[in-house]
Structure 1
């Protein structure tokens, strides 16, 4: 917290969004939510077919199938959420948030797909607990394991590997203060 009073600082100008802008924003939010939901349903449907009579039936025990479903919901929901956001970033931009170029967008899509594979591998690993534990406990463990599987990735210092910009850099008025 700062000891300064706000009297000496200039007031930030607030721009009003037009009615058409509000409608476009609401339509964009609904589209992103719809694609996230449809992505989750699609991933669950594909994984259900791969597990029951499919190639993963010998790999996933019957008590661990819900763990794979949890991973499918996470992976499909994340992909359905991020793809329209990345595409919107390619066509929408201003001085504070420039457009995302095709190479950067491709890198972001690749990062989402790699993370999806990580989520599915974690859920497949947790599904193996179905050999030892009842289905309800395996499902609860899967929710926590898949839900928190991103934490090790958040602790990696990506800037050291030259990937700081690949995962986004701070934007907006506070970005110039952080860069100094």
Structure 2
């Protein structure tokens, strides 16, 4: 558990560094207003923490298994990591959109808007019809865990 926490924190720091570079020194820098830099960093924190948290869990799932929960196959692990990377990219895109409010709002309000946008960014994904993508058990696993508690 400490390994997961450590990689999550390191991933968040890496996400901050990468999104600051994205805002300052990349082709995207003219599109990010000065008052929207922190909004972009919030998306980087979400991206880095997600990837940093799920990477060791996926690796541990590949090498360890029990009778109840068998080991992950490489295809399953790569599909999980691809999903985490896509979701993290989605959070960065949401933060780029929220950063555009920096053209008209001050820094504090842009940051507040970005925290809510990135924090609730998972809600549209919860409403997707996962059955159409061949992921029949996604919603039923969530519903069964709610019933158990």
Distance in 2, matches of 1:46 and 1:60, equals: 14
Could you state the TM-score of these two structures normalised by the residue count of structure 2? 0.89
Determine whether 1:33 maps to 2:5: yes
1:67 to 30, 39, 43: 39
Corresponding position of 1:135: 107
Structure 1 gaps of 5+ residues are 1-28, 176-180
Determine whether 1:80 maps to 2:52: yes
Cα RMSD (Å) of the superposition?
2.0
Corresponding residue pairs, total: 144
Matches within 5 A, 1:1-180: 29-165=1-137, 170=141
- Aligned pair in 2 of structure 1 residues 97, 66: CA closer, same or farther (>3 Å)? same
The structure with higher relative contact order (CA 8 Å, sep 6+) is 2
Residue range with higher mean Cα deviation, 52-61 or 143-152? 52-61
Distance in 2, matches of 1:46 and 1:93, equals: 34
The structure having more radius of gyration, on CA atoms, is 1
- Aligned pair in 2 of structure 1 residues 40, 146: CA closer, same or farther (>3 Å)? same
Distance in 2, matches of 1:30 and 1:169, equals: 30
Residue 169 of structure 1 and its aligned partner are, at CA, apart by 7.2
Distance in 2, matches of 1:57 and 1:162, equals: 38
Tell whether the 8 Å contact from 2:102 to 2:110 is kept in structure 1 after alignment.
yes
Structure 2 gaps of 5+ residues are none
- Aligned pair in 2 of structure 1 residues 101, 168: CA closer, same or farther (>3 Å)? farther
Secondary structure of the 1:118 match is helix
Distance in 2, matches of 1:107 and 1:54, equals: 29
Secondary structure of the 1:52 match is helix
Secondary structure of the 1:58 match is helix
Distance in 2, matches of 1:169 and 1:33, equals: 28
Distance in 1, matches of 2:118 and 2:29, equals: 21
